[in-house]
């Protein structure tokens, strides 16, 4: 064996890694690769949700996942433990979701789960086992370098562009990254499946999980009705010609607020064409669930007003109300993974930005003002939604993120 490989192997031997083993193929292969690299690996399964209210499928409960995860641990000769974090998950993720929807905003539970649970509460549990590192099956990568006498950690996109999950980790900090390992970030999904089959892992042919992180695939209105009451209100259609007249605004600092906030629709901007079950159940860009006919093209939600309980809609995928030139992130919601790259007041900087998972990176300019960051895109973006996260990249590196206002 090459001397450098032997040195790396010896360095890893004795280092303890706790991996979040979910019962899926990604974390299973991540665990296998860690074992191959010489780490002392312990498997820890998280129980985060018990309630099945609103679930679309009645099977595949956490008990099923735990059983499969334990089978993988036995196959790989790893100690297996279970930790119940459901109280923390409800308080820090699910309750936050309900609160955001009640305000007419659309949160991203997967980003919250990583920030609040996997790399916080769960990481603390892992450290109780004496872990040097905590590993997950995310498709992303980490590098590090030394500057000014301390280590700086970089969060990079995964090599598989179709599965890159760095966006979901956009709220991590330097301390969390210092302890994190992402063993499959350098390979693609087909290779992960191939390794799992080659090693005869019980998860080799298992389907990927879908829906809300740890809750699963749910009928969202039914799920939200656990705390949010249905409430009949008007659906108002806004003509495309009306919005087109409102969008001839020059991209200058004086116009940031006009460019970066959703247009404040009023009931007289359009006509009533139907009713809905509650404005807090809908989000910008949504098509399904309106159940209103009589149009040549589909209707999409342009905006919601939870105070008046009104939904504003527009006809067609190219309705100008679906598109905005920019967005705003308030100062208290700005998060820098690379704290050394924080922008100064009055500074502007070009980055690549995405506003949802799997969305291609879009060129944009960030403007740091006293009240927050204004992001203006080179091309208008469809479905910018309050409550979601915008993340900015420099090449493959994720630099920072924030909640859209």
- Residue 113 annotated to the active site: yes
- Catalytic, out of 126, 140, 213, 260: 213
pLDDT at 157: 98
Question: Of these residues, 113, 126, 140, 260, which one is catalytic?
Answer: 113
Q: Assess whether 213 carries a catalytic annotation.
A: yes
Q: To which residue do tokens 């990927």 refer?
A: 208
Residue 2 scores a pLDDT above 70: no
State the pLDDT at residue 211: 54
Taking residue 399's Cβ as centre, other Cβ atoms within 10 Å add up to: 22
- Confidence category of residue 219, pLDDT binned at 50, 70, 90: low
Separation CA 137–CA 158 (nearest Å): 11
Asked if pLDDT for residue 398 goes beyond 70, the answer is: yes
- For residue 321, what pLDDT band results from cuts at 50, 70 and 90? very high
Query: Could you give the domains of the chain?
Result: 3-224 (3.40.50.620), 233-322 (no CATH), 326-403 (2.40.30.10)
Please report which confidence band the pLDDT of residue 246 belongs to, taking 50, 70 and 90 as the band edges: low
């Amino acid at each position: 064996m090459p001397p450098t490989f032997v040195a790396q192997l010896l360095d890893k031997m004795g280092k303890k890694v706790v991996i979040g083993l979910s019962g899926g193929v990604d974390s299973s292969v991540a665990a296998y690769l860690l074992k191959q690299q010489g780490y002392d690996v312990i498997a820890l399964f998280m129980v985060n949700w018990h309630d099945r209210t609103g679930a679309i499928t009645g099977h595949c409960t956490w008990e099923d996942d735990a059983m499969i995860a334990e089978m993988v641990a036995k196959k790989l000769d790893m100690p297996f433990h279970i930790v119940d974090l459901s109280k923390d998950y409800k308080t820090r993720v699910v309750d936050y979701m309900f609160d955001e929807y009640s305000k007419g905003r659309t949160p991203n539970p997967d980003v919250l789960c990583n920030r609040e649970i996997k790399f916080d509460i769960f990481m603390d549990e892992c450290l109780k086992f004496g872990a040097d590192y905590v590993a997950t099956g995310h498709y992303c990568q980490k590098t590090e370098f030394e500057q000014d006498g301390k280590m700086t950690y970089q969060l990079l996109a995964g090599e598989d562009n179709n599965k890159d999950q760095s966006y979901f980790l956009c709220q991590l900090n330097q301390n969390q990254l210092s302890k994190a390992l992402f063993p499959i970030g350098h390979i693609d999904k087909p290779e992960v499946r191939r390794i799992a089959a080659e090693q005869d892992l019980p998860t080799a042919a298992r389907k990927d999980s879908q829906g809300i992180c740890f809750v699963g695939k749910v009928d969202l209105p039914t799920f939200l009705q656990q705390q949010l009451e249905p409430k009949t209100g008007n659906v108002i259609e806004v003509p495309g010609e009306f919005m087109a007249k409102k969008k001839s605004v020059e991209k200058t600092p004086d116009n940031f607020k006009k460019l970066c906030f959703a247009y404040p629709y009023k009931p007289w901007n359009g006509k009533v064409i139907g009713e809905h079950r509650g404005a807090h159940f809908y989000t910008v860009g949504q098509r399904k669930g309106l159940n209103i006919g009589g149009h040549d093209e589909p209707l999409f939600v342009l905006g919601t007003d939870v105070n008046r309980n009104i939904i504003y809609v527009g006809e067609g995928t190219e309705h100008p109300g679906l598109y905005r030139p920019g967005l705003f992130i308030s100062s208290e919601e700005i998060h820098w993974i690379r704290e050394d790259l924080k922008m100064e007041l009055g500074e502007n900087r070009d980055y690549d930005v995405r506003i949802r998972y799997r969305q291609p990176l879009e060129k944009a300019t960030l403007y740091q003002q006293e009240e927050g960051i204004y992001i203006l895109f080179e091309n208008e973006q469809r479905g910018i939604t309050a409550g979601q996260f915008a993340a900015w990249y420099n090449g493959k590196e994720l630099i920072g993120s924030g909640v859209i206002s």
